[in-house]
């Protein structure tokens, strides 16, 4: 008989780590909320009969966000056989709040004290036996990252699944009596969930009340019961329930936990006092990112990339393939397809793999040690200062890998207009696939300078902030920013295993894409570039592609790169952003594909300002099809999707136009009024949009910010 085990717990308590340990799979782990937005299922490693489910992290069963709804609906209707409630042993008090709610569900439950290693380091000791007695359920200590106790926890869960449960009742006598009275009125609700529904009704949970479809007279009776309690306590029923839960937790903690007084984990606190310092935080973040790009783009990564490009794809492979094909007597067109098409295109992209791997590795280290969670916190402060939701930064952080999961992570945002805004702006942040374009341009025109890459990332952040400010003042997006509260994980030495896993996963998906979608695109591009409408093989200048590209190209002249090759590269970027480079590789690929050769051609054709403008446009404009699909799914509307794509492209166009025009003005000192007049007018409009008073001004929701600040102190 199969058993369903659900892993439930607060965000960041280690559920996915546990899931991976139990099932042997490698789901994405991240130390910020919102990484797991969908339920994932797997089988226990040694027993396919046991099904393990990883649920999105939640703080309570009163859902405010989409991920909380996912988890709650599942727990109530799907009925797992047993819940493994994963709690962060170092933050027991906050984590037990959810435990008190899960314990009411009438599903067998065990509690795992995860991160017991971190708790021990901060000097916290927990008396497991006493805790079991208080919680009335089995408790076990685990350290999911190290794999300690995971199998034992699974065994314990399986054993517990077969046991009977009676809901734990943790409320004061009077509240419990009121809940029982409500229970009596719920005769049509299945008996096993009745208690839980009664508590929710007592809390005046509107969603539950309408879902149960109670008769009006029953509702009146329930309302009287609640009002009586509220009058007696002089508090709202929701507050009564919450404070009674916390009272109960307080007693449990007093009985079973021994923690040192004062703020534990001094090292983390000390580091945070510098890293999240009001004035130092952003410069430090910029410096860290600069170092990352310096290492991956300018120094170490370049050595690898240069070798792959210049030697492997530049000499060895073409020479070898050429001679092999010539030896086999291959037709010239096929030889051209393979060497000028596939090797030039795919090679141009794969050439950046070493740089990307070093970059992914650096980012994974920053992520794993806990720094990226601080960045989210810092960005929250920055975004909130502009009246935006700090929660938007998590999707962007995830979006540095790939926009698709980034856009999906917007589900953690409860406020609908903030969520839409996040879906809209997440792809401004350069994803991994855009990196080759950045590396190509910075290599060809800026001597691999790390500041170019850093500036591009900050341009992405600026685009988000500017869009946020402008859009927040429109009717479509008006409203208060959602509060954002997150746990800051303890700093720890990055684990080689998880850093390698993230790096290899991302690197591998890059290679997979190069071998499929990019390969296919290069074949199509090669074909369109070598044939005319009559399907005769011609010079590239007379090809179908040249005709199409030249038709659209003038549009991009004001941006400084209105030629057909750059235009075509930009358009193929819609299929996948790696295509921008592979297309340039095919279109400029003369005899050899060496990066230096491609870079040489680019240096010949573009000024550095035009190159930067090209780069900027490609980073900010509509994302690839996969991300457009994600936008469509998350927006749940075609009109919103079209709006998003138009907005992104218009924004990109404006940004590149201004950068190019003012760049030319500053570097040459020439006043070309024809283009400068529109540039000045545009800048004026943007400034007005940015600084006009917000006609929909509400309070800027400082409370959540203060909460986060307090937590740090
Ligand atoms: P989820 O949000 O509950 O799915 O949490 P994750 O599994 O994504 O883990 C959050 C973070 O906690 C990751 O950085 C993990 O490496 C870390 N982590 C998970 N389990 C443990 C543990 O037992 N000890 C320590 N020190 N860290 C852990
Ligand atoms: Mg998770």
pLDDT, tens digit, 9 for 90 and up, residues 219-240: 999 999 999 999 998 888 888 8
Cα separation, 590 vs 549, in Å, equals: 19
Which residue's CA is the closest to the ligand 1 atom numbered 22? 115
Mean pLDDT of the 341-360 span:
84
72-81, 422-431, 527-536: lowest mean pLDDT where? Answer: 72-81
Confidence bin at 706 (pLDDT 50/70/90)? very low
Q: Which helix (H) or strand (E) holds 85?
A: strand 82-88
More confident residue, 340 or 222: 222
Confirm or reject: Cβ of 31 under 6 Å from ligand 1. yes
Asked whether residue 365 carries a pLDDT value surpassing 70, the answer given is yes
Confirm or reject: Cβ of 394 under 6 Å from ligand 1. no
Asked whether residue 553 carries a pLDDT value surpassing 90, the answer given is yes
Share above pLDDT 70 across residues of the chain, in percent, rounded to a whole number: 91
Which residue's CA is the closest to the ligand 1 atom numbered 2? 12
More confident residue, 595 or 611: 611
Counting atoms of ligand 1 from 1, which one is nearest the CA of 492?
Answer: 26
Q: How far is the CA of 493 from the centre of ligand 1 (A)?
A: 13
CA 634 to chain centre: 14
Which of 29-38, 108-117, 480-489 is the most confident on average?
108-117
Asked whether residue 555 carries a pLDDT value surpassing 90, the answer given is yes
Confirm or reject: Cβ of 465 under 6 Å from ligand 1. no
Mean pLDDT of the 624-631 span:
90
Counting atoms of ligand 1 from 1, which one is nearest the CA of 54?
Answer: 4
Confirm or reject: Cβ of 160 under 6 Å from ligand 1. no
In this structure, are residues 25 and 19 in contact, taking their beta carbons and an 8 Å threshold? Answer: yes
Q: What is the pLDDT of residues 326-336, one digit of tens each?
A: 888 888 888 88
Q: How far is the CA of 115 from the centre of ligand 2 (A)?
A: 14
Q: Coil, helix or strand for 310?
A: helix
Counting atoms of ligand 1 from 1, which one is nearest the CA of 490?
Answer: 26
Q: How far is the CA of 416 from the centre of ligand 2 (A)?
A: 23
Find all residues with CB under 8 Å of 378, minimum gap 6, and list them.
276, 281, 282, 285
Mean pLDDT of the 647-659 span:
97
pLDDT score recorded for residue 490: 75
Ligand with the closest atom to the CA of 18 = 1
Which residue's CA is the closest to the ligand 1 atom numbered 18? 14
Asked whether residue 69 carries a pLDDT value surpassing 80, the answer given is no
| CA-based nearest residue to 462, from 388, 355, 374 | 388
Asked whether residue 552 carries a pLDDT value surpassing 80, the answer given is yes
Which residue's CA is the closest to the ligand 1 atom numbered 16? 145
Which residue's CA is the closest to the ligand 1 atom numbered 11? 31
Q: How far is the CA of 393 from the centre of ligand 1 (A)?
A: 20
Q: Label the pairing between strands 257-258 and 47-54.
A: unpaired
Output the pTM of the full model: 0.71
pLDDT score recorded for residue 510: 82
Ligand with the closest atom to the CA of 17 = 1
12-16, 378-382, 436-440, 446-450: lowest mean pLDDT where? Answer: 378-382
Cα separation, 427 vs 409, in Å, equals: 12
In this structure, are residues 588 and 600 in contact, taking their beta carbons and an 8 Å threshold? Answer: no
Confidence bin at 35 (pLDDT 50/70/90)? low
Cα separation, 670 vs 350, in Å, equals: 40
Mean pLDDT of the 112-123 span:
90
Cα separation, 189 vs 202, in Å, equals: 15
In this structure, are residues 530 and 332 in contact, taking their beta carbons and an 8 Å threshold? Answer: no
Confirm or reject: Cβ of 91 under 6 Å from ligand 1. no
Ligand with the closest atom to the CA of 98 = 1
Counting atoms of ligand 1 from 1, which one is nearest the CA of 10?
Answer: 3
Q: How far is the CA of 304 from the centre of ligand 2 (A)?
A: 34
pLDDT score recorded for residue 34: 57
Confidence bin at 701 (pLDDT 50/70/90)? very low
pLDDT score recorded for residue 709: 47
Asked whether residue 712 carries a pLDDT value surpassing 70, the answer given is no
CB atoms within 10 A of CB 669: 7
Taking each helix axis from N to C terminus, what angle separates 564-572 and 608-620, rounded to the nearest 10 degrees? 30
Confirm or reject: Cβ of 29 under 6 Å from ligand 1. yes
Average pLDDT value over all residues in the chain: 85
Q: Which residues surround ligand 2, an ion (CB under 5 A)?
A: 16, 35-36
DSSP state of 495: P
72-76, 82-86, 545-549, 698-702: lowest mean pLDDT where? Answer: 698-702
């Amino acid at each position: 008989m199969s058993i369903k085990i659900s892993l439930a717990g607060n965000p960041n308590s280690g559920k996915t780590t546990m899931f991976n340990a139990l099932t042997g799979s490698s789901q994405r782990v991240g130390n910020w909320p919102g990484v797991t937005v969908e339920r994932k299922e797997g089988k226990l490693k040694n027993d396919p009969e046991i099904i393990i489910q990883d649920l999105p992290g939640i703080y309570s069963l009163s859902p405010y966000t989409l991920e909380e709804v996912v988890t709650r609906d599942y727990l109530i209707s799907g009925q797992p056989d047993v819940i493994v409630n994963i709690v962060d042993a170092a933050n027991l008090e906050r984590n037990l709040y959810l435990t008190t709610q899960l314990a009411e569900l009438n599903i067998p439950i065990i509690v795992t004290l995860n991160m017991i290693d971190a708790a021990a380091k901060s000097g916290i000791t927990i008396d497991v036996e006493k805790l079991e007695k208080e919680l009335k359920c089995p408790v076990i200590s685990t350290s999911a990252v190290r794999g300690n106790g995971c199998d034992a926890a699974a065994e314990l869960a399986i054993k517990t699944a077969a046991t009977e449960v009676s809901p734990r009742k943790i409320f004061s006598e009077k509240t419990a009596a009121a809940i029982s009275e409500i229970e009596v009125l719920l005769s049509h609700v299945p008996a096993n969930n009745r208690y839980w529904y009664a508590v929710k009704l007592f809390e005046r949970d509107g969603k539950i009340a309408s879902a149960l479809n109670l008769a009006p007279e029953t509702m009146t009776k329930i309302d009287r019961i609640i009002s009586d309690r509220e009058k007696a306590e002089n508090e709202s029923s929701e507050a009564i329930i919450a404070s009674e839960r916390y009272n109960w937790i307080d007693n449990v903690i007093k009985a079973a936990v021994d923690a040192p007084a004062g703020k534990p984990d001094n090292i983390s606190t000390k580091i945070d006092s510098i890293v999240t310092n009001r004035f130092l935080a952003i410069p430090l973040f910029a410096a860290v990112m600069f170092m990352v790009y310096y290492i991956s783009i300018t120094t170490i990564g370049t050595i690898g990339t240069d070798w792959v490009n210049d030697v492997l794809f530049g000499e060895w492979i073409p020479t070898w393939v050429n001679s092999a094909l010539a030896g086999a007597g291959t037709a010239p067109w096929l030889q051209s397809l393979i060497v000028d098409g596939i090797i030039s295109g795919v090679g141009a992209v794969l050439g950046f793999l070493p740089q990307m791997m070093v970059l992914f590795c650096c980012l994974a280290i920053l992520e794993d040690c806990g720094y990226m969670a601080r960045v989210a916190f810092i960005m929250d402060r920055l975004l909130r200062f502009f009246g935006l939701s700090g929660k938007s930064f998590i999707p962007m952080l995830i979006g540095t890998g790939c926009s698709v999961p980034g856009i999906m992570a917007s589900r953690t945002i409860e406020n609908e207009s903030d969520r839409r805004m996040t879906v809209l702006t997440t792809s401004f942040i350069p994803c991994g696939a855009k990196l080759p374009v950045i590396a190509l341009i910075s290599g060809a025109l800026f001597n691999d300078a790390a500041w170019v890459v850093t500036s591009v990332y900050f341009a992405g952040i600026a685009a988000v902030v500017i869009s946020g400010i402008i859009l927040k003042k429109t009717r479509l997006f008006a409203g208060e920013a959602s509060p954002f509260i997150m746990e800051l994980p303890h700093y720890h030495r990055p684990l080689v295993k998880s850093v390698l896993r993230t790096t290899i996963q991302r690197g591998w998906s890059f290679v997979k894409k190069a071998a499929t979608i990019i390969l296919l695109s290069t074949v199509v591009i090669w074909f369109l570039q070598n044939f005319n409408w009559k399907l005769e093989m011609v010079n590239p200048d007379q090809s179908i592609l040249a005709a199409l590209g030249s038709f659209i190209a003038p549009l991009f002249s004001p941006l400084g790169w209105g030629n057909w090759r750059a235009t075509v590269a930009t358009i193929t970027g819609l299929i996948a952003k790696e295509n921008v480079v592979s297309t340039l590789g095919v279109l400029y690929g003369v005899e050899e594909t060496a990066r230096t050769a491609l870079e040489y051609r680019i240096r010949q054709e573009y000024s550095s300002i035009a190159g930067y403008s090209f780069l900027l446009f490609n980073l900010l404009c509509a994302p690839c099809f996969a991300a457009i699909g994600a936008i469509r799914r998350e927006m749940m509307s075609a009109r919103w999707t079209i709006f998003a794509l138009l907005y992104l492209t218009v924004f990109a166009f404006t940004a590149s136009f201004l950068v190019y025009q003012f760049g030319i003005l500053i570097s040459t000192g020439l006043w070309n009024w024809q283009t400068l007049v529109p540039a000045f007018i545009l800048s004026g409009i943007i400034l007005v949009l940015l600084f006009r008073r917000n006609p929909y001004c509400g309070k800027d929701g400082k409370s959540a910010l203060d909460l986060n600040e307090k937590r740090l102190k």
